[in-house]
Amino acid sequence: MHEGVAAYVLGVLDEGEHEAFERHLDTCTSCQAELKELVDVPSRLDELRHIPSASEDDPPMSMSR
């Protein structure tokens, strides 16, 4: 059950599991601690969503010219 904390914090658990994990969270102090640790990771990942993709000619991630 504990490993579900990452999927929970990302919001990708399937419906039933999401609810089951929330109930687990009510009593599991180690998952509560991990929730606090991991909660900022999804918003960091969100930064990737707003970046326009490279044209196909560009080398990936080229910052230097």
Binding site for other proteins (CB under 8 A): 2-14, 17-18, 25-26, 32, 35-55, 58, 60-63
Least distance to other proteins, CB of residue 13, Å: 6
| Smallest distance, other proteins to C-beta of residue 33, A | 9
Distance, CA of 3 to CA of 41 (rounded, Å): 16
Q: Are 2 and 29 in contact (CB under 8 A)?
A: no
Residues 6+ apart with CB under 8 A from 8: 18, 21, 22, 25, 35
**Could you tell me the smallest distance in angstroms from the CB atom of residue 52 to other proteins?**
7
